[in-house]
Structure 1
Amino acid sequence: MSKLWSDHVAGLVPYVPGEQARMPNLLKLNTNENPYGPSPRALEAMRAALGDDLRLYPDYSALALRQTIARHHGLDAGQVFLGNGSDEILAHVFNALFLRAGRPLLVPDITYSFYRTYCRLYQVPHRLVPLDAQFAIRVEDYAGPMAVEPSGIIFANPNAPTGCALPLASIDAIARARPDSAVVVDEAYVDFGADSAAALMDRHDNLVVIHTLSKSRSLAGLRVGYALAHPPVVEALSRVKDSFNSYPMDRIALAGAQAAIEDEAYFEQSRRAVMDARQTLAGELRALGFEVLPSEANFVFARHPARDAAAIQRALREQAILVRHFKSPRIEQFLRITVGTPEECARLCRALAQILSESH
């Protein structure tokens, strides 16, 4: 702490990302990165962008990329907002949509922890809404009568870290019940088996859908995210963005992102490989005695009824295998495990079998 800090800094509790370790023969299954590389067309486009034009600012409107995204979702370019990763999009959403006369934001009690970080940063009043016993969102908790209309509702779908997905009919019911609240659906993992709420955009002007290229497009290192919303919401996000950073997307990111989205064949191939590996991994974990929640993401959420999750995580780390453990109420005995290649998943399961046999 320094005497030079602003008054609010000491009270912030920053988001803690997964461990980024450096060790020999590391198997990194803790940060939900795609085990398969980016589209070759995306890599080629980024190499082509490495030229003298880097002395120039990128296209302020990023029109070509917004048009490509809009075509992919069957929308208009005016309904697309871009940012430096979906976390930046989320930051602008919290600033632009959730500070409304002290009205509370509704947030699931178990979800992406960055939401609470942004609530603290922007001083957004919020209320945590418990998931049910199966770690699912109850529609009635968000769509039922309330004494005070919320400023907004935000949840990840599929949820993180559980991997459970909410059907479109449930999202439709929530958005319809709260027409004066922004309903924000964070779809970082939607391409691994769930249905995108982008299909509901024509029904609800209060719906905001957020995507990232970090997961299904294998571009976590590029930092590209986007929101789909009606033009008045895009205008609000743009006003905040242009008061913060008018050029969040560089020339290389614009080129790579557009090519990645256009390469539908590679996208379908890689996401299908992850989904197939997830099904196999879940089955192997169950055979080892784990309870595995149903997942539509590129990770699984599992616990062993007779073994401590933190102890399993430490034992795996001794074998250079990283998985994620959250020291949070209700989920402290779960491990979140990123789906790797079939070979990586097999190595994980061999290590788990050894750990379980030794501790028995």
Structure 2
Amino acid sequence: MSKFLSNKLRNLIPYVPGEQPKKGEFIKLNTNENPYPPSQNMADIAQKVAKELNLYCDPNCSVLTDTFCKYYNIDCNEVLFGNGSDEILAFCYLAFCDREVAFPNISYGFYQVFSDLFNIQAEQIALNDKFEINIEAYFNKNKTIIIANPNAPTGIALNENQIETILQNNAQNVVVIDEAYADFSGYSAKKLINKYENLVVVGTFSKSRNLAGARLGYAIANENLISDLAMVKNSYNPYNVNALTQTLGIESIRDDAYFKECIQKIINERNNFIEFLDRNDFYTLPSKANFVFTKSNTISGEQLYQNLREQKILVRYFKTIGDFVRITIGTTEEMNAVKKALKN
């Protein structure tokens, strides 16, 4: 680092993204991407939008907002879009975290990075021995709460009653439910935003909508909370969602059949893979996401990771979480290759 770096950042440990190998080098199942490409309609429309990139994009994402809100049956003042859900989470930190924040000790790594970056005291609350969130540990915290649902990397999801109980016991502070993987679970807390004034639901087009490379995220909340987030956004980067991404987001929503088809294929493949793991001496957590968190009962997690890597299959191994590896659900062909490799 240079001598000019601010002293408050000298001890910052940045987020480390999953490895991004050259295309075709590995079967890439380490970053929870959707294995299916965007629909052909998106590719066709992208070429048209490219001809207008000399102009600034719409800072209000007006057409995207209108399309999104009609699809999800919410008001247009109840959503805000961002450059991926990570940017939306950063806006939440700036808007709602004065001093302290609480989140699970095993969850999305960016929560701690944002806490450090924005000088917010973070309380990491331990999961139970089944890797589940203990909702009572979040009652009356008097600090902003962030929960990924389904959680990552475990894939375990809270039900609606559990989420409502957390909201009811934190009426004086904001609760952020990060729903990056919610479309694979069959449940979303979106419908609760007008029942609880302290709820912010964060989502992304990266996972279920095949657009990880486009960077499109959103927050859904009541009008007052969205107004707070919009003030932060417009004080930082009003043109935060580029024209091409806005158009791809619109087409993703309109092509509903393709969206649902891809989700169902991933869910079917996930369930099939879990059954395979259960038959082959693995312990796997009950996933509601587009990945599984599993460990072999015969070899270490590090050895399992290395064995798969040697067979050109890339998964995610977290040294701090014992012998579990996280395996993204790919296509049938990719998952068959994983099964074959696990038997070797």
TM-score per shorter chain, which class?
over 0.9
The alignment partner of 2:156 has SS state of coil
User: What amino acid does structure 2 have at the position aligned with 1:94?
Assistant: Y
Q: 1:160 aligns with which of 147, 152, 155?
A: 152
The alignment partner of 1:300 has SS state of strand
CA distance in 1, matches of 2:166, 2:41: 39
Question: Superposition pairs for residues 146-157 of structure 1, below 5 Å?
Answer: 146=140, 149-157=141-149
Q: 1:326 aligns with which of 300, 311, 318?
A: 318
1:174 correspondence with 2:166: yes
1:344 correspondence with 2:334: yes
Work out whether residues 325 and 332 of structure 1, in 8 Å CA contact, stay in contact via their aligned partners in 2: no
Q: Equivalent residue for 2:90?
A: 91
User: What amino acid does structure 1 have at the position aligned with 2:341?
Assistant: A
Q: 2:136 aligns with which of 131, 135, 140?
A: 140
* CA-to-aligned-CA distance 1:276-303 (integer Å, 9 cap, x gap): 0001111111222101100110000001
Shift of 1:116: 0.3
Shift of 1:19: 0.8
CA distance in 2, matches of 1:23, 1:38: 17
Work out whether residues 283 and 295 of structure 2, in 8 Å CA contact, stay in contact via their aligned partners in 1: yes
CA distance in 2, matches of 1:2, 1:117: 20
The alignment partner of 1:198 has SS state of helix
CA distance in 1, matches of 2:92, 2:45: 30
User: What amino acid does structure 2 have at the position aligned with 1:151?
Assistant: K
Work out whether residues 208 and 228 of structure 1, in 8 Å CA contact, stay in contact via their aligned partners in 2: yes
Q: Equivalent residue for 1:82?
A: 81
Q: Structure 1 length normalisation: TM-score?
A: 0.93
CA distance in 1, matches of 2:70, 2:137: 34
* CA-to-aligned-CA distance 1:279-332 (integer Å, 9 cap, x gap): 11111112221011001100000011221001111121111110000121xx22
Q: Equivalent residue for 2:178?
A: 186
Work out whether residues 296 and 304 of structure 2, in 8 Å CA contact, stay in contact via their aligned partners in 1: no
Q: 2:124 aligns with which of 121, 128, 131?
A: 128
Q: Equivalent residue for 2:222?
A: 230
Q: Equivalent residue for 1:357?
A: none
The alignment partner of 1:49 has SS state of helix
The alignment partner of 2:7 has SS state of coil
User: What amino acid does structure 2 have at the position aligned with 1:68?
Assistant: T
Give the count of matched residue pairs. 344
Work out whether residues 26 and 313 of structure 2, in 8 Å CA contact, stay in contact via their aligned partners in 1: yes
1:274 correspondence with 2:266: yes
Q: 1:110 aligns with which of 106, 111, 115?
A: 106
CA separation of 1:23 and 1:61: change in aligned 2, threshold 3 A = closer
User: What amino acid does structure 2 have at the position aligned with 1:11?
Assistant: N
CA distance in 2, matches of 1:84, 1:258: 15
User: What amino acid does structure 2 have at the position aligned with 1:142?
Assistant: Y
CA distance in 2, matches of 1:151, 1:140: 15
Question: Superposition pairs for residues 219-258 of structure 1, below 5 Å?
Answer: 219-258=211-250
The alignment partner of 1:276 has SS state of helix
CA distance in 2, matches of 1:24, 1:75: 41
Q: Equivalent residue for 1:315?
A: 307
Work out whether residues 152 and 181 of structure 1, in 8 Å CA contact, stay in contact via their aligned partners in 2: yes
Q: Equivalent residue for 2:20?
A: 20
1:283 correspondence with 2:275: yes
CA distance in 1, matches of 2:67, 2:134: 35
CA separation of 1:40 and 1:233: change in aligned 2, threshold 3 A = same
Shift of 1:56: 1.2
Q: Equivalent residue for 1:9?
A: 9
Q: Equivalent residue for 2:58?
A: 59
Q: Equivalent residue for 1:358?
A: none
Shift of 1:23: 7.3
Shift of 1:58: 1.0
CA distance in 2, matches of 1:124, 1:236: 18
CA distance in 2, matches of 1:74, 1:24: 40
Work out whether residues 299 and 339 of structure 1, in 8 Å CA contact, stay in contact via their aligned partners in 2: yes
CA distance in 1, matches of 2:4, 2:102: 34
User: What amino acid does structure 2 have at the position aligned with 1:30?
Assistant: N
Work out whether residues 165 and 194 of structure 1, in 8 Å CA contact, stay in contact via their aligned partners in 2: no
CA distance in 2, matches of 1:150, 1:159: 22
CA distance in 1, matches of 2:116, 2:135: 26
Work out whether residues 194 and 221 of structure 2, in 8 Å CA contact, stay in contact via their aligned partners in 1: no
The alignment partner of 2:95 has SS state of helix
Shift of 1:272: 0.1
User: What amino acid does structure 2 have at the position aligned with 1:339?
Assistant: I
Q: Equivalent residue for 2:39?
A: 39
Question: Percent identity of the aligned residues?
Answer: 40
CA distance in 1, matches of 2:24, 2:216: 30
* CA-to-aligned-CA distance 1:245-272 (integer Å, 9 cap, x gap): 1101111111110110121111110100
Cα RMSD after superposing both structures: 1.3
CA distance in 1, matches of 2:66, 2:172: 28
Q: Structure 2 length normalisation: TM-score?
A: 0.97
